[in-house]
Structures are given as structure tokens and as C-alpha cells.
């Protein structure tokens, strides 16, 4: 019982930050993201009655640290009585550095596990399972522009626009490639308990979501840029106001923000967003990609640049 699936990370334009139900990992707020095309995680799940425990390898190296979370996710797909599994997960980009590697990893994991079992559950159901493991992973089951909303006691997902209907480009400036100091799950908990801005963040999210929905419907780049930067900086203000404060940026992150401001002042259609890590993600119109890439490459402290178009949701690759 073995199958392989592929999924891409997604970058939130309206951020998920905070949970309304921690045990079920349900978000406090809705979010909107874009699914990437060229950064991929490929995961093979092989349920094998001969195994005496689950075995996980990540990029060719045995990984025990992620095993409990991966095992819990497999339990939600296959049930507690399931056979143990051999899981191999390979990503073509740095993992655990604020590049949403857990999103593509858990999206690929649920699709591969479901296919290995021959269950063929629908995309929404698999997205809800992926979301239990990592909230942002639910969005990687869908392609293009994706909205995640709270619906009753679960989440609902909607594709707002197909990737080919508004094919923006994403240029990622990697400013530090090590794992982050505080993971998102823990950082959200700290924000919820201690940030004086957390309540306002939650209150204002519906207005930000309405703005981004309108921007996507009208393919209005200036409106998308304005609301996405606002929402990103508001999320980081929640983090900065927490105790202890969580500052994911380094000096190169700030230098990259200045680079984006300079490009904008020269009339380029580009904006930035930053997640729980020091990498800056620039979203731009295709005609401006080369210039954005060159400017970010020349920014002091940038170690590497990754470029991607927008892509489709997680897919099954093969099945034995
Ligand atoms: C800043 O999905 O990693 O990237 O549900 O606790 O696993 P858990 O959190 P995770 O959080 C993502 C936070 C973010 C914003 C976003 O992607 O919406």
C-alpha cells in the first residue's frame, strides 16, 4: 500500500496567525494565499505490516523530530489501527526557514496516505486533515489564489482565482537558511496569550479578507499590494508586541524591504510579504520579475534567490 504525492508551498497574502481551537488546530482568522509552482515537496507513504514502527526520512536523512506530528497526521487519515508506514519526503528548497515547508509537506502527506489506502477522499476533506497537522497546509491542497475560512466547527476552502488567470510571479530572497528559533505553533500561542494587539488583529481580519477578495476579483495589483503589505506588517506587530517579543527579521530582511520600496518608487508592480522567518517574498507582475530578482540579489545579506510562478494544488503522482 504505497503512493506518492507532490505539493507546493503557499504564501499567505492575508495571514493566518492565532488559533480558536488548539487541540483541533482551527485558526482564529481566515486567510488568503497563493500556491507556488516551482518549489515542491514530494512524499511517498508506504504502509507495511512488516514494520515495527513508523520511519521518516526528510531529504534523505532519518528524522525523529518530526515523527510524532507526522504519525498523528497519518492517524487522522488512516485511523489509529493503521499499519506502520515508511515515509520519504523530499523538498527542493530550504525547510523550516519560514518558507512554508510544513504546508507542502503535510499537504503531500495526506494526499499520498489517502491514495496509498485507496480511499479517494475529496479535496476539501483532505485539506481539513492537512489543516489539523498545520493550518497553512490546508491551502496547499488548492492551486492559485486560495481563501481559507472558518465554517462551523471546521474550515472551508475556496479557489478565488486560477493561477493561469492572474499569473503573478514570486521572488524569494533567502537571508538565512537555518531553522527558525520559535516555531509558528508556539509563537501563535504566545501572541494570543500576551500580545495587546491580538484582539484587534482578529477583529480587523474580515475587512482585510474582503479587500483582498475584491483585489483578486478585479486583478487590481495596487490594491492587492496595499492590503497584503498592511496585513503582513500587522501580523508582525502582533508578534513584536508579544512577551517575549518575537522578531523574525534580520538586517537583510529590512534591507530587502527597502529594496522593494525603491522599486515601487520607480513604478514597478511589486510588493513584499514576510512570514515567521527572515525571508522576504516579493510578489510582482511577470514583466518586472527580472528587475526584482536583480535588485534583491544585489541587496546586502541576501544569500540566495528562488523564483516561482503560481501553481496547482497537491496531486497524486503514482500508486502501487
Ligand atoms: C506566518 O501553518 O505553520 O506562515 O498550524 O501551528 O502549524 P500551525 O502553523 P503554520 O502557520 C503559518 C503562519 C504564517 C502565516 C500563514 O501562512 O498564513
Query: Ligand 1 — pocket residues by CB below 6 A?
Result: 12, 15-17, 25, 31, 100, 102, 134-136, 184-185, 188, 275-276
The Å distance, Cα 155 to ligand 1 centre, comes to 15
pLDDT in tens, 29-62: 999 999 999 999 999 999 999 999 999 999 999 9
The Å distance, Cα 16 to ligand 1 centre, comes to 6
Output the residue whose Cα is nearest ligand 1's atom 4.
275
The Å distance, Cα 21 to ligand 1 centre, comes to 14
pLDDT in tens, 59-98: 999 999 999 999 999 999 999 999 999 999 999 987 655 5
Task: Output the pLDDT for position 318.
Answer: 76
Atom number in ligand 1 closest to CA 31? 18
- 178 pLDDT exceeds 90? no
The Å distance, Cα 119 to ligand 1 centre, comes to 27
Output the residue whose Cα is nearest ligand 1's atom 14.
275
**The model's pTM:** 0.96
The Å distance, Cα 52 to ligand 1 centre, comes to 32
Atom number in ligand 1 closest to CA 137? 2
Q: How does the average pLDDT of the chain come out, rounded?
A: 95
CA distance 228 to 212: 8
Output the residue whose Cα is nearest ligand 1's atom 1.
275
Average pLDDT over residues 257-279: 97
Which residues contact residue 57 at a Cβ distance below 8 angstroms, ignoring those fewer than 6 apart? 63, 87, 88, 89
Percent of the chain with pLDDT over 70: 98
pLDDT in tens, 224-237: 999 999 999 999 99
The Å distance, Cα 11 to ligand 1 centre, comes to 10
- For the four alpha carbons of 60, 66, 72 and 76, in that order, the dihedral sign comes to negative
Mutation to probe ligand 1, out of 100, 105, 240 (largest number of atoms < 8 A from CB): 100
Contact status, residue 7 vs residue 314, Cβ threshold 8 Å:
yes
The Å distance, Cα 265 to ligand 1 centre, comes to 31
Which helix (H) or strand (E) segment holds residue 170: the answer is: strand 169-174
Task: Output the pLDDT for position 96.
Answer: 55
CA distance 111 to 93: 20
At 264, the pLDDT band (50, 70, 90 cuts) reads very high
Task: Give the helix ranges, DSSP H, for the chain.
Answer: 67-78, 101-116, 123-133, 184-194, 198-217, 221-240, 251-265, 289-297
Q: What number of other Cβ atoms are within 10 A of residue 6's Cβ?
A: 20
Average pLDDT over residues 7-12: 97
CA distance 22 to 261: 37
What are the angstrom distances between the C-alpha of 276 and each of 23, 187, 247?
A: 21, 9, 9
Output the residue whose Cα is nearest ligand 1's atom 6.
185
Task: Output the pLDDT for position 31.
Answer: 98
The Å distance, Cα 184 to ligand 1 centre, comes to 6
Task: Output the pLDDT for position 97.
Answer: 56
Contact status, residue 78 vs residue 117, Cβ threshold 8 Å:
yes
| DSSP assigned state of 164 | G
Output the residue whose Cα is nearest ligand 1's atom 8.
134
Mutation to probe ligand 1, out of 14, 17, 137, 184 (largest number of atoms < 8 A from CB): 184
Contact status, residue 29 vs residue 207, Cβ threshold 8 Å:
no
262: helix, coil or strand? helix
- 179 pLDDT exceeds 90? no
Percent of the chain with pLDDT over 90: 91
The Å distance, Cα 2 to ligand 1 centre, comes to 29
pLDDT in tens, 94-112: 765 557 678 999 999 999 9
Q: Between 177 and 199, whose confidence is greater?
A: 199
What are the phi and psi torsion angles at 174 (to 5°)? -85, 120
Amino acid at each position: 500500500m504505497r503512493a506518492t504525492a507532490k505539493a507546493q508551498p503557499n504564501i499567505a497574502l492575508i495571514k493566518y496567525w492565532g488559533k480558536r481551537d488548539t487541540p483541533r488546530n482551527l485558526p482564529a482568522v481566515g486567510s488568503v494565499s497563493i500556491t507556488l509552482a516551482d518549489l515542491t515537496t514530494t512524499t511517498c507513504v508506504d504502509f507495511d505490516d512488516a514494520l515495527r514502527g513508523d520511519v521518516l526520512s526528510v531529504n534523505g536523512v532519518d528524522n525523529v523530530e518530526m515523527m510524532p506530528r507526522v504519525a498523528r497526521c497519518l492517524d487522522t487519515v488512516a485511523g489509529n489501527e493503521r499499519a506502520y508506514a515508511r515515509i520519504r519526503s523530499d523538498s527542493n528548497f530550504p525547510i523550516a526557514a519560514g518558507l512554508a515547508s510544513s504546508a507542502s509537506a503535510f499537504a503531500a502527506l495526506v494526499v499520498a496516505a489517502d491514495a496509498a489506502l485507496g480511499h479517494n477522499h475529496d479535496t476539501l476533506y483532505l485539506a481539513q486533515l492537512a489543516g489539523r497537522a498545520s493550518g497553512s497546509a490546508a491551502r496547499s491542497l488548492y492551486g492559485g489564489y486560495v481563501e481559507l475560512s472558518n465554517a462551523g466547527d471546521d474550515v472551508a476552502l475556496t479557489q478565488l482565482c486560477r493561477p493561469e488567470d492572474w499569473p503573478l510571479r514570486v521572488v524569494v530572497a533567502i537571508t538565512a537558511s537555518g531553522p527558525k528559533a520559535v516555531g509558528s505553533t508556539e509563537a501563535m500561542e504566545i501572541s494570543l496569550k500576551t500580545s495587546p494587539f491580538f484582539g484587534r488583529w482578529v477583529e480587523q481580519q474580515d475587512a482585510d479578507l474582503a479587500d483582498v477578495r475584491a483585489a483578486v476579483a478585479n486583478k487590481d495589483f495596487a490594491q492587492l499590494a496595499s492590503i497584503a503589505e498592511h496585513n503582513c506588517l500587522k501580523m508582525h506587530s502582533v508578534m513584536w508586541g508579544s512577551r517575549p517579543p518575537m522578531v523574525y527579521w534580520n538586517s537583510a530582511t529590512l534591507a530587502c524591504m527597502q529594496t522593494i520600496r525603491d522599486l515601487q518608487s520607480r513604478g514597478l508592480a511589486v510588493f513584499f510579504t514576510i512570514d515567521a522567518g527572515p525571508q522576504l517574498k516579493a510578489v510582482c507582475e511577470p514583466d518586472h520579475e527580472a528587475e526584482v530578482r536583480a535588485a534583491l540579489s544585489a541587496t546586502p545579506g541576501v544569500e540566495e534567490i528562488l523564483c516561482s510562478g503560481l501553481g496547482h494544488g497537491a496531486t497524486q503522482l503514482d500508486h502501487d
